[in-house]
Amino acid sequence: GAVVSQHPSWVICKSGTSVKIECRSLDFQATTMFWYRQFPKQSLMLMATSNEGSKATYEQGVEKDKFLINHASLTLSTLTVTSAHPEDSSFYICSARDLIGTGSGEQYFGPGTRLTVT
Partner 1 sequence: DAKTTQPPSMDCAEGRAANLPCNHSTISGNEYVYWYRQIHSQGPQYIIHGLKNNETNEMASLIITEDRKSSTLILPHATLRDTAVYYCIVRVGGGTSYGKLTFGQGTILTVHP
Nearer to partner 1, 9 or 83 (CB): 9
Nearer to partner 1 (CB atom), residue 51 or residue 82 = 51
**Euclidean distance between CA atoms 73 and 79, whole angstroms:** 14
Question: Least distance to partner 1 from the beta carbon of 85, Å?
Answer: 22
Among 21, 25, 34, 79, binds partner 1 (CB under 8 A): 34
CB 31 within 8 A of CB 75: no
Question: Which one among 39, 106, 116, 118 touches partner 1, defined by CB under 8 A?
Answer: 106
Both ends of the chain: CA-CA distance in Å?
A: 37
Assign 62 to helix, strand or coil: coil
Strands 76-81 and 57-58: unpaired
Interface pick for partner 1 out of 64, 111, 116, 118 (rule CB under 8 A)? 111
| Closest to 48 in 3D by CA, of 31, 69, 66, 72 | 69
Residues that bind partner 1 (CB under 8 A): 4, 6, 32, 34, 36, 43-46, 49, 91, 93, 95, 99, 103-112, 114
